[in-house]
């Protein structure tokens, strides 16, 4: 059964989230690793994630990283970074839901839509992008449902389990988001 995604919120990371984040991010066998950039070597990803968890434990919450909270439970994170050069209005967004129990029920789509809205509200973003690989159909579908359109495809750029996949980038302009938001209410 799909998770009830109606209570998806984005919030600052709290101390109570660290055990959950540590568990999911540092588990080399976590299912999310098969979908979030699986073309990177597992050992490198594990090392990077351990360093990231250490960083989270030692730093205050960052407005460019938020926890995805589903009914009071930390189920993932979103992040954003401004593409260089700064001030150009291009922000790249990321989303990761750790637990497969929360995949396929709209949690990711709702979290991504909220993150887009927050990004357009709190930054100078003119355009936001998400980047994934051709095998991650759930991410591509979520982005399209939110209003993103494919803007770049590098054919056969990624190797996953010995098979070649395209690298895919989707974009959404502030003006498109405003027009879409106007039709939702």
| 8 in Cβ contact with 111 (< 8 Å) | yes
**In Å, what is the CA distance from 30 to each residue of 6, 10, 14, 74, 173?**
25, 22, 22, 16, 33
| 77 in Cβ contact with 65 (< 8 Å) | yes
**In Å, what is the CA distance from 74 to each residue of 56, 118, 126, 143?**
14, 19, 29, 21
pLDDT digits (tens, 9 = 90+) for 149-175: 999 999 999 999 999 999 999 999 999
Q: Which helix (H) or strand (E) holds 8?
A: strand 8-11
**Where exactly are the structural domains of the chain?**
5-184
**Superfamily holding 5-184:** Gcn5-related N-acetyltransferase (GNAT) (3.40.630.30)
pLDDT digits (tens, 9 = 90+) for 35-80: 887 777 777 777 888 899 899 999 999 999 999 999 999 999 999 9
pTM, whole model, 2 decimals? 0.90
């Amino acid at each position: 059964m799909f998770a009830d995604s109606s209570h998806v919120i984005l919030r600052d990371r709290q101390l109570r989230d660290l055990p959950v984040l540590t568990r999911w991010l540092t588990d080399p066998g976590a299912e999310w690793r098969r979908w979030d950039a699986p073309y990177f070597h597992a050992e490198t990803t594990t090392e990077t994630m351990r360093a990231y968890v250490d960083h989270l434990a030692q730093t205050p919450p960052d407005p460019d990283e938020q926890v995805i909270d589903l009914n009071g439970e930390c189920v993932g994170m979103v992040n954003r970074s401004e593409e260089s050069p700064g001030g150009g209005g291009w922000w790249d967004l990321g989303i990761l839901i750790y637990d497969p129990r929360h995949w396929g029920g709209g949690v990711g789509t709702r979290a991504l839509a909220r993150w887009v809205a927050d990004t357009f509200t709190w930054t100078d973003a003119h355009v936001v992008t998400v980047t994934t690989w051709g095998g991650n159909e759930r991410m591509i579908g979520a982005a399209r449902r939110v209003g993103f359109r494919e803007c770049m495809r590098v054919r056969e750029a990624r190797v996953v389990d010995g098979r070649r996949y395209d690298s895919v980038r989707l974009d959404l302009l502030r003006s498109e988001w405003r027009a879409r938001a106007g039709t939702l209410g």
